[in-house]
Amino acid sequence: MSYAWHYLHRTKSPWRWLHLFYLLLFTLYVEWVAMILAYWLVFQRYIEALPEVLVNPLFLWLYMLFFTLVEDRLFREKKEIVEIRDIEPIWFEIVSERKRQQINLRELLYVESANEQIDFHLLEKTLPSKERISQLAERLPEEFLRIHRSYIVNTKFIDAYNIGSISIKGAELPISRKYKDIVEAFLKS
């Protein structure tokens, strides 16, 4: 069931609904057989004594769907982090705390400028720097978008956006009027 759920989200094939239907039928059958065998082995009962709700296909399918959705919600963010780390890193050199450091741009969520200091917000940590955000914007690849005089975001991590802000991993970042048209054009494309 979990495989079918991920297959639905990953595949763009026009046949994906038919494939999903066959996968669900197969999982339903396997679950039904497993339920009957478990009931027979554990309770030493005959199949005729099995409560009807346990052999109801709709109940079995809803039962499996519930646990698939719970698993998806609990482990989604962890899977995304693992997938990002599996991809070849893009190293970017910065000066942080008077030392040259390499950061992986695939883990960089956004850059925030405040009081002549820049904070690089990565997946698991934040690194300070004394660079200028305007010079940094020129050095970063095109997947990074300046949305405010104080913010540059990694477009790969945008969860949601509206007229005045962008949401990245729970952080609400404002979009200034100066960059509003650029941001809208980029996000629509």
Give the CATH number of the domain where residue 171 resides.
Answer: 2.40.50.1020
pLDDT at 152 over 90: yes
Is 151 in contact with 174 (CB distance < 8 Å)? Answer: yes
- Considering the domain architecture, whether residues 120 and 95 belong to the same structural domain is answered as yes
- Considering the domain architecture, whether residues 56 and 96 belong to the same structural domain is answered as no
pLDDT of residue 47: 63
Report the half-sphere exposure of 121 (CA within 13 A, side-chain side).
15
Q: pTM for this structure? A: 0.55
pLDDT at 22 over 60: yes
- Considering the domain architecture, whether residues 35 and 95 belong to the same structural domain is answered as no
Contacts 24+ apart (CB under 8 A), 4-13: 4/68, 5/68, 5/69, 5/72
pLDDT of residue 111: 93
- Considering the domain architecture, whether residues 73 and 102 belong to the same structural domain is answered as no
- Considering the domain architecture, whether residues 57 and 21 belong to the same structural domain is answered as yes
Mean pLDDT in residue range 7-23: 67
pLDDT of residue 17: 67
Report the half-sphere exposure of 17 (CA within 13 A, side-chain side).
1
- Considering the domain architecture, whether residues 106 and 20 belong to the same structural domain is answered as no
Between 44 and 140, name the one with better pLDDT: 140
User: Residue 13: which pLDDT band, with cuts at 50, 70 and 90?
Assistant: low
Most confident region among 20-29, 58-67, 136-145 by mean pLDDT:
136-145
Give the residue ranges of DSSP H helices in the chain.
Answer: 2-10, 16-43, 52-55, 57-86, 133-139, 180-188
- Considering the domain architecture, whether residues 120 and 134 belong to the same structural domain is answered as yes
pLDDT of residue 109: 92
- Considering the domain architecture, whether residues 142 and 164 belong to the same structural domain is answered as yes
Of 69, 86, 103, the last residue of a domain is 86
User: Residue 30: which pLDDT band, with cuts at 50, 70 and 90?
Assistant: confident
* Burial of 138 (C-beta count, 10 Å sphere; 0-12/13-18/19+): exposed
**What range does the domain containing 44 cover?**
2-86
- Considering the domain architecture, whether residues 117 and 166 belong to the same structural domain is answered as yes
In 3-state terms, what secondary structure has residue 107? Answer: helix
Of 60, 86, 112, the last residue of a domain is 86
* Burial of 183 (C-beta count, 10 Å sphere; 0-12/13-18/19+): buried
| % of the chain exceeding 70 in pLDDT | 70
Tokens 């949601």 found at: 160
Of 86, 115, 140, the last residue of a domain is 86
Most confident region among 38-42, 76-80, 93-97, 116-120 by mean pLDDT:
116-120
pLDDT at 59 over 80: no
Mean pLDDT in residue range 167-188: 88
Between 164 and 87, name the one with better pLDDT: 164
pLDDT at 85 over 70: no
Structure tokens at 72: 């998806």
pLDDT of residue 48: 67
| Distances, alpha carbon 115 to alpha carbons 41, 118, 146, in Å | 69, 8, 18
Tell me how many domains the chain contains.
Answer: 2
- Considering the domain architecture, whether residues 158 and 184 belong to the same structural domain is answered as yes
pLDDT at 158 over 70: yes
pLDDT of residue 147: 92
pLDDT at 53 over 70: no
Where on the phi/psi map is residue 53: left (φ > 0), alpha (ψ -120 to 50), or beta? Answer: alpha
- Considering the domain architecture, whether residues 116 and 167 belong to the same structural domain is answered as yes
- Considering the domain architecture, whether residues 176 and 103 belong to the same structural domain is answered as yes
